[in-house]
Structure 1
Amino acid sequence: MPQRISHSNSFFSVTVRTRISYYIQLVRLHRPIGIFLLMWPALWALWLAGAGSPPWHIVIIFITGVVLMRSAGCAINDYADRDFDGHVARTCTRPLATGDVTPREAVIVFMTLSLLAFGLVLMLNWQTILMSVVALLLAMIYPFMKRFTHLPQVFLGAAFGWAVPMAFMAITNHVPMYAWLLFIVTIIWALIYDTEYAMVDREDDLKVGIKSTAILFGHYDRLVVGILQIVMLLMLIDIGHTAALGIFYYMGLGIAASFAIYQQYLIRHREPRTCFTAFLNNNYFGMAIFVGLVVDYLLR
């Protein structure tokens, strides 16, 4: 009898570990690039709103919220794409595509993580709480947009960028004009890196009927990405001028610009592997801007 109980407990333990591993894959905690791309604009906004010294409890709330909402977004995205992912080489091993996680489970994971994130927002002022409803709606809408428009990245950028006005509201109780400009910058940035990402799946997306900017831009994809990179950097320069930032911020922008040039080099032949590398490189682009901000405020 003791051996049977031990065997049963061991089987239960293995089953639980297996389920947890499937959920980790579902929310892509093993691939944190999405967390970073969502986190950098939030950190830019927090440091700008706090003039280099944002309240640490608000910083912790936003970072935790970023992890939760990106994870929730992955769950609802895979639910929306459950009929397509199995036909795309890059996504065919996702747990919903393989049947390891059911659509019902994915929705439950999304709702649970969203409720946890909302619980965090309840620790902020009432204006930020109201704004969080928009964040949830954007997270729910984006995954379905690729069926209706070739510009789903606009909705992705809005979902990722909504942390910007929320950060200003949480710290200063209002959202200045240059914060909305930073929100637009985040949307443009999403158009850049998600186009590079979509270039990886272009052929598969054409076969299954998924819309993307990579398909919309066609042979002009590199040109459009380059123009958007220039526009984004010019807007960040204007934000720096408005916020009276100094030389170290602009040095950070210079480093970010070098990463943008490197991404152009990577996507020059439109090879899926190097396009994906260009997409990943955006983490360093966002990091360079943030480090420039932090150093500029520290050394004033």
Structure 2
Amino acid sequence: MHVSVWGKLERRGDDIFLDAFLYEGEAGRKVLRKVYTGSKGVVRAMVHRLSNMIIERYTGQRGVAGTQIAFVAEINNGKQLHVMGYDGYRPRPLTNNRSLNLFPHWSPGKRFLAFTSYLDGNPDIHVMDLTTGEIRNVVAFQGANITPAWSPDGKQLAFASSFDGDSDIYTIEASGGTKLRQLTFSPASDFSPTWSPSGIEIAFSSDRGGSLQIYVMDADGSNVRRLTFEGRYNTAPAWSPDGRWIAYTCRNKQGSLKICRVTPDGRQSVQVTQSVGDHESASWSPDGRHIVFSVASRGESDIYSVHYDGSGLVRLTSGPYRASSPSWSLWE
């Protein structure tokens, strides 16, 4: 179907009016008119509403305009959390604590951000309330506490911790850091958990088979099975919102890191990204149509996005810092 959009912005006093028309077919039949009004500061939000409305009209699913991407910015030997629009618009800092802040992960609803920080001297898991700026230390076990991931209902955090020796996967209540539950007991290293959209399963990385691979288990730690078998380096899984794919970092035959994806039953896998550099830290858009990731090349590191099939590569950052570990927010 051929679809076109025409619109104009007009100032009327202190307000801005967006008058938009939607046309279908080669003949350009007008099917919809939308008028938005607001102050100059909300023009971008008005365009986002129009864009999302059009996408939902023709796909049945909301668009991603208005969502945000958190990431790590390496500045002056420190690593701070930043946030920007889904298209790279207006990156700005969330932390400024002269510490190392790593592995950001959005909560459902976009109010909280979980991350690992050395703020108290140890790599602990903290939660930031983005409405107040308050930061709480929720996992402070001795050893490394890393790669937090919110459960789909927002009630639990899955994470990796080495407080008992080797790194294992645990869950804990996100609200107060209680009801700790250990899910893996392998003498190998298990880390980077990611929940299925249903909350029934968790994928993770492990070297229990002699090389780093992607595994899946039930959310209680039972029924562990291996998903990836091609190559000796597959890590950092990220489950798609529709549950059909798990994106991850893979190493190709040339030795470069790329983004791949595999079905949850392990029967189908495909390399997604092809461009130069090392590609890591995949994160899905909330509609499952795009993947954001970091690209390291020639001493620089920036955030890029692609369609889930690997087409439409777009660079999102070009700041005076090395950008990595992106995390795409869900809808509010």
Q: If the length of structure 2 is used for normalisation, what is the TM-score?
A: 0.26
The answer to which structure has the higher strand fraction is 2
The answer to which structure has the higher helix fraction is 1
Q: Which has the higher contact order (CA 8 A, sep 6+)?
A: 1
